[in-house]
Structure 1
Amino acid sequence: MKIDVIIPVYKPEKRFLELISRLEKQTLKPNRIIIMNTEEKYFEALLYGTDFAREHPNAEVHHLSKWEFNHGGTRNDGAARSTGDIFVCMTQDALPADNRLLEELTAALSAEEDIAVSYARQLPEKDSGEIEKYTRQFNYPEESCVKGKGQLPEMGIKTYFCSNVCAAYKKEVFRKLGGFERHVNFNEDMLFAAKAVQAGWKIAYCAGAKVYHCHNYTCAEQFHRNFDNGVSQAQHPEVFKGLPSESEGVKLVKQTAAHLCSIHKPWLVLRLFAESAAKYAGFFLGRRYKSLPAGVVRACAMNKDYWKQV
């Protein structure tokens, strides 16, 4: 099977070049690396003095304006350029943990006919804080699993959980199901996963496929990010209605607090509560964005450009 990798890029740093290098060293090598770059000037600044095209002949770069970028639409455009049987979506700040990432990630798609999507385990960085480390462990455990309609009563909203930080898609299934929601500010991966599950397909979590990826967000950034999440859920009641996310959030906070106490760092519980309050406030307002003035919505959003397109 031919595999292409699609990476939306904005203001890339040296870590992005390391990602390209690690992809090229995989045991299962990508056929093409399709880079969907927002604003050419930032990409050119990173590559100044290098010959990127010669050094990475299987990488192709497509530039777009900031106005044109969209979480779902830009990835759809990348998928349309793919000639592979499978394409892998990645973000510019994810790094393969080893050279078997693509092999492990796509194995489930090759072995099981009814699996439409597989996604990788996200590992914290060495310098990640304790809260971020535990959050990664909570959301990305050591055990792999396959999720479908049969898991909805038990797993609820986590049945649809998927992450385009590193996820592989069967291109033909992706095409038949209509691809990602084109105009979306968040959750394009979960929305597609939900559509696939409802159509009878399954989602595979592949713990053996590992990437380093984490964010040490401030409380303000947590607020803005979760506001966008709340907006996305409010805009898609056909997916999220009846499958509340709050219970999973409460479970995460309780388990993280217990973990922090068990490792004798109870003072971090205060930070956990502050971050959790910011997350919930953002999510609460995002779910009710239609009742807010337009200026308040833009002020609360992380992806402010999205609202210029609405």
Structure 2
Amino acid sequence: MAPLVTVVIPVKNGESRLGECLASVFSQKADFDFEVLCVDSGSTDGSLSIIQSSGARLLQIPPAEFGHGRTRNFAIAHCRSEFVAMLTQDAVPNDDRWLAELIQPMRDNDKVAGVFGRHLPHPGCNPSEAYMLDAHFRAFGEQVTLYRIAPGLEGWAEYESRRGWYQFFSDNNAALRRSVWERIPYRDVEFMEDQLWASDILEAGYIKAYAPNAAVRHSHDYSLATVLRRAFDEARFRREYCDPGDLPGARALAVQALRDAGRDLRRLARDQAYSTKDRLELAPYIVGRHLAQSAGRFLGDRFELMPETAVRRLSQHHELKGDVAAALPRSPVLRGAVREAVRRSMQTHGKLNTATLGLRKSIWAVGGRGGRGGVGERVCHNRG
């Protein structure tokens, strides 16, 4: 008899947290049967041994065949279950009710096609990342929440105006209904396959759900260079696939970065988990992180103005595929790309001001070193 749920985990060199992830998955308490399927794309560490000793099913593909949407489609095609839960190798279910909580909205409502859960920071995570995760997921609510496009032109207008909010979906911690996936699979794209899938199901008339009690520990302590590159990729792909409208200028991004950094620093000052010495050591990183995010977004929004070589070097996606050297390009290449983007932006938007110049300097410095909106219809269900 087929299990009700298959937990799919793409893997590559994930031994640092994979064992913990699998142990937590296999400890789940649910009133249904489930299985675990790992798809490995060329691990050279101990990941294969961890998978084989855990009892999970294993599929293997060559590294060159990996794609975020493509590989997940491949895995789901090998599932026999009605529902498929999606994890990543560094996302650890927070308790033994994670899977039951994640699947329940689809068991309760046949129109729910996908569910995503909360992310919590790993122990020892930097406070800026921890604060961001807390604010981001708290905004979705503290009870099971359903999202759909409201009927009529007003509903579609609301959806288009707040597409980023509607389409948020993270297959680091998510589940989908396999029968819907058969009609609407993941797109074979380089990035944002999960959020594009959420848009596709909403536009097809299905419902997306948020399950806050289905929590995983999933966070990263990125260098400032990596923060910039990830923000670049996110802005680039959002621009390419979602057309987010008017581009925020460098001044607006710089002001927002400093405002967000100030908010984090005030919270850090009240956080009793950190000593005064810790706070002083963490403060520069927190400010730098927000500036790097804004710098990456500024560049990613304007990727079409850059030479292809600069885009490839700034993109972390190409690094993961092995297309370019792993290190962030040093100042000459990055500065050249920034100068060109800023020059063309000035031609369009006019003279740069002091804040713009400050943001541009922050971009150069990182290179040298290496909204919430409303919804058209939101229905809350509290299951206690």
- Could you tell me which residue of structure 2 aligns to residue 146 of structure 1? 146
State the distance in 2 between where 1:81 and 1:271 align.
43
1:185 aligns with 2:190: yes
- Say which SS state the counterpart of residue 189 (structure 1) adopts: helix
Q: Which moved more, 1:257-266 or 1:104-113?
A: 257-266
Q: Is the Cα contact below 8 Å between 1:35 and 1:61 reproduced in 2?
A: yes
Q: Is the Cα contact below 8 Å between 2:265 and 2:286 reproduced in 1?
A: no
Shift of 1:167: 0.3
Paired AA for residue 187 in structure 1: M
Deviations 1:260-309 (A, max 9, x none): 3145278656533321221122222223323322221111011215595x
- Could you tell me which residue of structure 2 aligns to residue 12 of structure 1? 14
State the distance in 1 between where 2:226 and 2:161 align.
31
Paired AA for residue 186 in structure 2: F
Paired AA for residue 258 in structure 1: R
Q: Is the Cα contact below 8 Å between 2:42 and 2:62 reproduced in 1?
A: yes
State the distance in 2 between where 1:224 and 1:140 align.
23
Tell me: CA distance 1:250–1:76, structure 2 relative to 1, closer, same or farther (3 Å).
farther
With normalisation by structure 2, the TM-score equals 0.70
State the distance in 1 between where 2:4 and 2:60 align.
24
State the distance in 2 between where 1:26 and 1:220 align.
37
Q: CA RMSD in A?
A: 2.9
Paired AA for residue 68 in structure 1: E
Aligned-residue sequence identity (percent) comes to 24
Deviations 1:164-221 (A, max 9, x none): 11100001111112x1111x22211100001111111121111011111101111100
- Could you tell me which residue of structure 1 aligns to residue 306 of structure 2? 292
Q: Which moved more, 1:20-29 or 1:106-115?
A: 20-29
Q: Which runs of 5+ in 2 are unaligned?
A: 151-157, 271-278, 324-384
Deviations 1:203-252 (A, max 9, x none): 1111011111101111100111112112211321xx34349899999878
State the distance in 2 between where 1:245 and 1:295 align.
24
- How is 1:68-107 mapped onto 2 (pairs within 5 angstroms)? 68-107=65-104
Give the length in aligned residue pairs: 298
With normalisation by structure 1, the TM-score equals 0.85
1:209 aligns with 2:214: yes
Shift of 1:255: 5.4
Shift of 1:106: 0.5
Q: Is the Cα contact below 8 Å between 2:261 and 2:287 reproduced in 1?
A: no
Tell me: CA distance 1:122–1:3, structure 2 relative to 1, closer, same or farther (3 Å).
same
- Could you tell me which residue of structure 2 aligns to residue 231 of structure 1? 236
Deviations 1:90-126 (A, max 9, x none): 1000001100000000100110122111011111122
Q: 2:183 aligns with which of 171, 176, 184?
A: 176
- Could you tell me which residue of structure 1 aligns to residue 290 of structure 2? 276
- Say which SS state the counterpart of residue 316 (structure 2) adopts: coil
Q: 1:163 aligns with which of 157, 163, 170?
A: 170
Q: Which runs of 5+ in 1 are unaligned?
A: none
